[in-house]
Amino acid sequence: MCRHLAYLGPPVSLRELLFDPPYSLVRQSWAPRDMRGGGTINADGFGVGWYPGDGEPVRYRRAQPIWSDPTIAQLAGVTSAGAVLAAVRSATVGMAVLDSAAAPFAEGRWLFSHNGAVRGWPDSLVPLAAALPVRDLITLDAATDSALLWALVRHRLRSGIKPNRAVAETVVSVTRTAPGSRLNLLLTDGHTVVASVVGHALSIRTTPASVLLASEPHDDDPGWQEVPDGHLVEATAAGVRVRALTEA
């Protein structure tokens, strides 16, 4: 299953964040320590989104393993940012392997990622998809559960629903119509990160000025804390709030 991370805090280089740690996201693409729900490596693509300033993020996605792309290694060496969302992908059986199927999905300031799988996709999501504008359905990034989940979250954001509610409502409604789905979502606008933990692991490490959320701790620092299943995280560089999804 995919692995993802989000960082907010003082600018760090993408190399420091994605390549250098002993169990970095790049290493997790070929040697993850905690794979659940099938899959052994995360070689079906990757994506990185970062905020170069106060504006919209820049995104780089490819359908190949992150370790085999020389461009991301070069970019990472010369790029620093104070807000980053990155993911490596293990495609769920039957789902497209394309650049556009790799997270992060994006619109405006938003970046989004999904680690997991929707049980019974696509049929189980028909009742929820039917409530979306047709335009959203025919412009999905890819024929994957993750792209459709992003359309569901994005529809709520466009309607003015707050990001924590947009994520919580989407997770609750998908769990109702497709029970047993694994729904670790990550959403950021570069200032706040919202993350759901349903069916996969997520750990958090904070410093006084930063927060890092990751599917797996990327080093042996004792400061990593695992978020319990069924919870929603709202994080800024200044603090973290964790609540049961049912209370969010």
CB closer to ligand GLN out of 181 and 206:
181
Given 91, 157, 211, 237, the residue binding ligand GLN (CB under 6 A) = 91
CB 83 within 8 A of CB 43: no
Instruction: Collapse the DSSP code of 247 into the 3-class scheme (helix H, G, I; strand E, B; otherwise coil) and give the result.
Output: helix
Q: Is 188 in the site for ligand GLN (CB under 6 A)?
A: no
Q: Which of 24, 28, 92, 196 binds ligand GLN (CB under 6 A)?
A: 92
Residue 88 structure tokens: 């490596």
Q: Give me the active site residues, please.
A: 2
Question: How is residue 168 written in tokens?
Answer: 């919580």
Shortest distance in whole angstroms from residue 143 CB to ligand GLN: 10
Q: How far apart are CA 146 and CA 133, in angstroms?
A: 17
Residue closest to ligand GLN (Cβ): 2
Dig out the tokens for 175 from the structure.
Answer: 């769990």
Nearer to ligand GLN, 178 or 212 (CB): 178
Residues 107 to 166 in contact with ligand GLN, rule: CB under 6 A: 114-117, 144-146
Count of residues touching ligand GLN (by CB under 6 A): 16
**Calpha distance 92→116 (Å, rounded):** 8
Q: Contact 154/141 with Cβ under 8 angstroms?
A: no
Q: Specify the residue, 21 or 116, whose C-beta has the smaller distance to ligand GLN.
A: 116
**Site mask for ligand GLN (CB under 6 A), range 208-237, x = bound:** ------------------------------
SS3 68: helix
Closest to ligand GLN by CB, 101 or 198 = 101
Cross-strand pairs, 211: 8, 206
Applying CB under 6 A, does 101 fall inside the site for ligand GLN?
yes
Cis peptide bond upstream of 52, omega within 30:
no
Alpha helices for 79-138 (secondary structure H): 126-129, 134-138
User: Contact letters (x/-) for ligand GLN, 24-63, by CB under 6 A?
Assistant: ---------------x------------------------
Q: How far is the CB of 124 from ligand GLN (least distance, A)?
A: 13
Q: Could you give the CA distance from residue 184 to residue 18 in angstroms, rounded to a whole number?
A: 20
Spatial distance between the Cα atoms of 105 and 147, rounded to a whole number of angstroms: 7
Asked if residue 2 binds ligand GLN (CB under 6 A), the reply is yes
Give the range of 11-19, 91-99, 124-132, 172-180 binding ligand GLN by CB under 6 A.
Answer: 91-99
Burial of 80 (0-12, 13-18, 19+ CB in 10 A): middle
CA–CA gap between residue 115 and residue 110 (Å, rounded): 17
**Residue 44 beta carbon to ligand GLN: minimum distance, rounded to whole angstroms:** 7
Give residues in contact with ligand GLN (CB under 6 A). Answer: 1-2, 39, 89-92, 95, 101, 114-117, 144-146
